[in-house]
Structure 1
């Protein structure tokens, strides 16, 4: 078949598949979330089994850990939405003062027009929080099918041991696929572990800065920063919006600028300089692919897709590339790393 036709058919297949996943996203999203959570706590089940724990604990302990994390995230997001809605109307006076100062500054700069003054005067301070509240509400809605997630978690925890045995039986027949699935589980756990540890470090530093600057509810925004840390590339920006806006209304533009600078410095040092050294090859995705996967999975599954963008991309890589014996070139393309010994040699006939 002509290569162009193959490319078009593959592209059409991808589009149809993603469109189908999007149509049943309310089912696929909770299933994938449950899968990632079960993989995250699977070492606990392995440890209990190795130490001869009773059979019921192999299901109960991992399930309790996962449910505690899941319910904790839902509670935190709920509190964040309520607090944002409650605090917004209390800053009318501060907002009006900021409007007056902005009008004076615009007048001194010679850009004070009638339209600008009318826009500033008619602006509702509650509208400042609409973006933050929309993001938080979207994340909260992503966990709205909580009963389905809990049932799936219970089912997956019950089947985890049998599923592991089935995979072990298939090693001889499908070694490439079984190895790829094992790598997916390992990389997903490592990604979640490293992201959680460094997310806690960033959150602790964020809470300290917000407390020193007098921003309301610093602990709440620190926990929110931990949750948004799992969203690659733009997660810290989402976690920055609420405290920055509260800093503006509580202490003025200077406080807001300090909050923004502090968040940017903390994010750059911890997540851009230190975290990649510990993460290593856990992700196996280039920066461009990571950003594109964030856009893609957010479009397909909404806020839950943004939270699970990296694990979902790793799963797609496992099923489509790593399980293919001839997929080394494609794996190097999306990871940006050439496997050892696979580089182009100087005496290659393809080199001019």
Structure 2
């Protein structure tokens, strides 16, 4: 009898080493793989639009160019919408630093009175805090150095998106055993993320209305932040909660400061427990642990962009496996 244990161990080791090598290459070549992956994700979401234009007789190159322009316009509008939010947050940094320095001074004084411990926290904050904004904003020389790199990433993104949309049928046709499942996965993921976008928009508008009633400054900016952050599950809403708590403490001097974060928690709970399951259903429901770990891995690998593309990649892979398994089950009968 042949013992297959060594061969299985060797195969497992090879798979592990291959995975480590791929991850290391993806991390090292972030400027190449990150925009290309983001383009592929956007291409999957926009693929039904291209397919619809194909059915109307529009040439594939024209429909791909239209989808590219549409995606670029949407991304540009999101960046423009984020501009006022970032400016408002930068304007609030000195005030936050001053308030935080006051809290740290009180905490340090209390700890000193208890144990006689000497802390330099407030000195560090006072010396380095004032320059935090200046250090965060790149200089003109740094901006000029980053410009070619940014242009190259934009070129990679645009080229990958255009040629993927134009040759998607050819790519899928090269692997006929997965062609139907791939297209089903594309449609499912596109429907999923269009629905999630509308849900997040509703969440942002609801938060805006609540903050107007509460009287928290810049409610429109907080609504836009909630809309964008909710795409990064778990971590995004958690960031909004802590940010609203800090904003409430700066704006109000009583327990009223807790109204804003608690209101967002309630809105997010309603969205996650009732609205999203009702509109999306359970056909693309991925294990929450897998979702969380994939987002954390994406953030570690490529930063914010990795956190954005992590969930679409996981959902697409899950939809592909589900479609292929259903197709395989149906072929057995």
Sort the TM-score into its range (normalised by shorter chain): 0.7 to 0.9
Offset at residue 310 of structure 1 (A): 1.3
Of 27, 32, 38, which residue of structure 1 is paired with 2:43?
Answer: 38
Structure number with higher helix proportion: 2
Q: Are residues 326 and 215 of structure 1, via their aligned partners in 2, closer, same or farther at CA, if it must alter by over 3 Å? A: closer
Contact 1:40–1:188 under 8 Å retained in 2: yes
Point out where structure 1 has 5 or more consecutive residues left out of the alignment.
135-140, 329-338, 341-352
Offset at residue 202 of structure 1 (A): 0.9
Offset at residue 40 of structure 1 (A): 1.8
Point out where structure 2 has 5 or more consecutive residues left out of the alignment.
137-145
- Could you tell me which residue of structure 1 aligns to residue 87 of structure 2? 82
- Could you tell me which residue of structure 1 aligns to residue 237 of structure 2? 236
- Could you tell me which residue of structure 2 aligns to residue 188 of structure 1? 189
Q: How far, CA to CA, are the matches of 2:90 and 2:322 in structure 1?
A: 46
What are the residue-to-residue correspondences of 1:172-211 with 2, within 5 Å?
174-175=176-177, 177-211=178-212
Corresponding position: 1:250 with 2:251: yes
Deviations 1:185-210 (A, max 9, x none): 12321231121111011111111122
Q: How far, CA to CA, are the matches of 1:155 and 1:215 in structure 2?
A: 43
- Residue 283 of structure 1 aligns to a residue in which SS? coil
- Residue 216 of structure 2 aligns to a residue in which SS? coil
Q: Are residues 158 and 15 of structure 1, via their aligned partners in 2, closer, same or farther at CA, if it must alter by over 3 Å? A: closer
Q: How far, CA to CA, are the matches of 1:326 and 1:49 in structure 2?
A: 27
- Could you tell me which residue of structure 2 aligns to residue 29 of structure 1? 34
- Could you tell me which residue of structure 2 aligns to residue 226 of structure 1? 227
- Could you tell me which residue of structure 1 aligns to residue 297 of structure 2? 296
Deviations 1:35-76 (A, max 9, x none): 111222222223333334466641343222211221223334
Offset at residue 31 of structure 1 (A): 0.4
Of 5, 9, 13, which residue of structure 1 is paired with 2:14?
Answer: 9
Q: Are residues 164 and 90 of structure 1, via their aligned partners in 2, closer, same or farther at CA, if it must alter by over 3 Å? A: same
Q: How far, CA to CA, are the matches of 1:155 and 1:307 in structure 2?
A: 18
Contact 2:185–2:323 under 8 Å retained in 1: no
Q: After the TM superposition, which of the residue ranges 259-268 and 229-238 deviates more from structure 2?
A: 229-238
Deviations 1:217-257 (A, max 9, x none): 21112111111111122211123333332221111352431
- Could you tell me which residue of structure 2 aligns to residue 71 of structure 1? 76
Q: How far, CA to CA, are the matches of 1:57 and 1:245 in structure 2?
A: 48
Q: Are residues 242 and 325 of structure 1, via their aligned partners in 2, closer, same or farther at CA, if it must alter by over 3 Å? A: closer
What are the residue-to-residue correspondences of 1:262-281 with 2, within 5 Å?
262-281=263-282
Q: How far, CA to CA, are the matches of 2:255 and 2:118 in structure 1?
A: 22
Contact 1:94–1:250 under 8 Å retained in 2: no
Q: How far, CA to CA, are the matches of 2:120 and 2:61 in structure 1?
A: 63
Contact 1:283–1:314 under 8 Å retained in 2: yes
Across the aligned residues of Structure 1 and Structure 2, the Cα RMSD in angstroms comes to: 3.9
Q: How far, CA to CA, are the matches of 1:270 and 1:150 in structure 2?
A: 37
- Could you tell me which residue of structure 2 aligns to residue 261 of structure 1? 262
Q: How far, CA to CA, are the matches of 2:239 and 2:152 in structure 1?
A: 27
